[in-house]
Structure 1
Amino acid sequence: MKIDIKKLKGIDLYYYITSDEYPDKDFSEAVSLLMYAQPNKDEALKLLEEVVKKGKRLVAIYPGTGDVAPQRAEFVGDIPDGALYVL
């Protein structure tokens, strides 16, 4: 059964995307870093809802490995060894 993530809200959305059931593992890993980048849970979940609603992506950038944030990326916050951005 395919779940429409645009219908999920808040913590339910977060838990589904970070679960083993969610098929996009890259996005799932980036979402799992969201609470590091935005420690305020309510703000983090609101941002996640907005990202999903607008069809955007969360992307982890690790400068130590040569990653560079795209110019159009919006900074979310720091994560271990890098930063999280919205594209």
Structure 2
Amino acid sequence: MPPGWTPYNHRIETLTYDVTDFLKSNENALAVELVSGWHSGRISRGKALYENFASPKVLCQLEITLEDGSQQTIVSDETWKGTTNGPVRLAGIYD
């Protein structure tokens, strides 16, 4: 359950993953599983502990260096689709 407890009013944690071994030519999809966690989940009775953090948010960036040395960057934006009907219903230290 990364990044763990974070004082979101002071800093936002950045998680970085090396996905090189998972990339295949023309066969990729980028997805994010995002849940409420401790800061807006059951432990805080569904109320945000910090202003402007009532629901979880994500900013995702995939940086690809191609074999010829050129780079491609894919960034999450308003075209990304989401659902609240996924398989995970609760996600906190007591769930």
Q: TM-score, normalised by structure 1?
A: 0.22
* The structure with more radius of gyration: 2
